[in-house]
């Protein structure tokens, strides 16, 4: 079955991931990855109008030399951007499951997965929408110890999960939604604790599943941040999360995305050589230091030295002359800048030199098509105990109902730099994920599926 599943995955050239929290059954009735991919059309083709995405997205911005890499937007990248925003919405959904009542700045959290991709894969501009691979020539990105274009290099390692009462460890392959797509890698392989030994699954380079993998990785990593910065400590993530409760924080002061992205880059753990970016961000969050957040932490005009000094980032790894300078201290700020360009949001402070808003245009048809294609790469255990990929019909019904319930005002085309358009887009994604989760759980009556955070310590058969 492992060989058959591997062959099928290779044939379909799809991408998958790992992470999770909460399911423990070893089910029968193994199912292959069966899904039908519908060809995505460009915005121009679907609307018949002369409107398309345009502008240059600056990423990997160097705040000291005003240099950067550039992605010139066109309809070629629309489907990739949509798939990454869907993954961002899934990240928001998972965070809400884990921390009920938390306020999510959707502009920044939902856009963070695409910004993560650009930051980690400078060759994203070479992507072609006619292919399912994000990186056409992945090379070393798929070697053992690597994690594809998102560089999820710990994909084959278990992590500590604080929401397990028994404090079990889990990795991406333990997530029920993702385990099937991680083949040939298994939970049994992960248990060998041989990180870096296994070749990266092909699915971690797929435009549909790889963004979801990154989203689930960030969700998983949130537990590491909480473990390493517990309640009562100097850098208290629990206190930060309390301050991020809905109604307690404004969007402009919500820096959850900075915390998650800084942790991806520099780690969640406390260092002995000074304050890390994660710690500096957590401290600003837990103390509600709005002035620091608005004037420094989200300021895109400060050079690296001034930023690190004013932010209170003192770790030697961030100091000038160190191997990590300047990206170690600027990483999360760089991603936030990329997101703001797509959103057309100067985020209190002006864009730095050479950077401006872009014009990313999406259509309802494209959003629907990508959602259906992408969701089919996830799996769940149905009420009969069968472990199967989510069906196209369920994904279609979920997104169709979400669009019908959204206040689109008859629009079929949306521009992400338009705040109203963007919020309708996010509303559709949120509703579609909720609709689908309710369908799969049979509104709570499916004993084998509660929600997308479900995990397993074993290989589901």
Query: Mean pLDDT score of the chain, rounded to an integer?
Result: 86
Quote the CA–CA distance of 145 and 154 in Å, as a whole number: 7
The torsion angle over the Cα atoms of residues 275, 281, 283 and 288, rounded to 10 degrees, is: 160
350 CB neighbour count, 10 Å cutoff: 11
Backbone φ/ψ region at 158: left (φ over 0), alpha (ψ -120 to 50), beta: beta
Question: How confident is the model over 380-385, as a mean pLDDT?
Answer: 96
Helix then strand then coil, in percent of the chain rounded to 5, is 50, 10, 45
Reduce the DSSP state of residue 251 to 3 states and report it: helix
Q: Which of 291, 271, 293 is nearest to 282 (CA)?
A: 293
pLDDT, tens digit, 9 for 90 and up, residues 32-83:
344 445 544 433 333 334 579 999 999 999 999 999 999 999 999 999 999 9
Higher pLDDT pick, 156 / 247: 156
pLDDT, tens digit, 9 for 90 and up, residues 170-195:
789 999 999 999 999 999 998 887 77
pLDDT, tens digit, 9 for 90 and up, residues 117-152:
999 999 999 999 999 999 988 888 998 889 999 999
Indicate whether 240 pLDDT > 50.
yes
197 CB neighbour count, 10 Å cutoff: 11
Indicate whether 411 pLDDT > 70.
yes
Q: Give the least confident one: 108-112, 258-262, 311-315.
A: 311-315
Question: How confident is the model over 393-406, as a mean pLDDT?
Answer: 98
Q: Strand locations in 297-371, DSSP E? A: 361-363
Length of the chain: 461
Crossing angle of the two packed helices 419-440 and 106-120, in degrees rounded to 10: 90
Indicate whether 341 pLDDT > 70.
yes
pLDDT at 321: 73
Q: Which of 158, 236, 217, 206 is nearest to 374 (CA)?
A: 206
41 CB neighbour count, 10 Å cutoff: 17
Quote the CA–CA distance of 80 and 4 in Å, as a whole number: 29
Give the predicted TM-score (pTM) of the model.
0.89
Quote the CA–CA distance of 285 and 287 in Å, as a whole number: 6
């Amino acid at each position: 079955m492992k060989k058959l599943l591997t062959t099928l995955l290779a044939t379909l050239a799809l991408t998958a991931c790992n992470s999770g929290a909460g399911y423990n059954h070893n089910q029968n009735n193994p199912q292959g990855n069966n899904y039908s991919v519908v060809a995505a059309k460009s915005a121009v083709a679907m609307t018949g109008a002369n409107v398309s995405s345009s502008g240059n997205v600056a990423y990997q911005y160097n705040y000291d030399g005003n240099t950067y890499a550039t992605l010139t937007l066109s309809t070629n990248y629309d489907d990739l951007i949509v798939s990454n925003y869907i993954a961002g919405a899934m990240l928001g959904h998972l965070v809400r499951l884990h921390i009920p009542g938390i306020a999510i700045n959707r502009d920044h959290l939902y856009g963070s997965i695409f910004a993560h991709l650009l930051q980690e894969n400078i060759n994203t501009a070479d992507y072609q929408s006619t292919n399912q691979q994000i990186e056409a020539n992945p090379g070393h990105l798929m070697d053992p110890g690597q994690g594809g274009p998102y560089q999820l290099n710990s994909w084959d390692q278990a992590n500590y999960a604080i929401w397990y009462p028994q404090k079990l460890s889990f990795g991406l392959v333990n997530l029920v939604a993702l385990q099937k797509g991680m083949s040939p890698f298994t939970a049994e392989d992960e248990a060998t604790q041989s990180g870096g030994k296994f070749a990266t699954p092909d699915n971690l380079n797929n435009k549909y599943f790889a963004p979801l993998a990154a989203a689930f990785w960030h969700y998983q990593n949130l537990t590491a941040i909480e473990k390493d910065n517990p309640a009562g400590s100097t850098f208290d993530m629990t206190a930060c999360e309390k301050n991020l409760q809905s109604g307690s924080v404004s969007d402009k002061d919500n820096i959850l995305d900075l915390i998650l992205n800084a942790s991806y880059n520099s780690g969640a753990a406390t260092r002995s050589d000074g304050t890390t970016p994660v710690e500096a961000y957590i401290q600003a969050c837990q103390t509600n230091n709005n002035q620091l957040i608005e004037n420094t932490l989200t300021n895109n005009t400060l050079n690296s030295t001034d930023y690190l000094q004013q932010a209170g980032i003192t770790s030697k790894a961030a100091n000038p002359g160190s191997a990590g300078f300047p990206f170690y201290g600027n990483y999360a700020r760089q991603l936030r800048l990329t997101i703001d360009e797509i959103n057309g949001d100067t985020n209190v402070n002006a864009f730095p030199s050479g950077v401006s808003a872009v014009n990313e245009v999406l259509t309802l048809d494209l959003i629907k098509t990508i959602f259906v294609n992408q969701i089919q790469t996830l799996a769940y255990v149905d009420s009969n105990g069968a472990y199967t990929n989510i069906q196209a019909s369920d994904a279609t019904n979920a997104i169709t109902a979400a669009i019908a319930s959204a206040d689109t005002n008859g629009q079929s085309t949306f521009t992400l730099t338009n705040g109203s358009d963007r919020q309708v887009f996010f509303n559709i994604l949120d509703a579609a994920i909720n609709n689908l989760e309710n369908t799969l759980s049979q509104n709570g009556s499916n004993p084998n599926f509660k929600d997308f955070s479900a995990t397993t310590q074993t290989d589901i058969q």
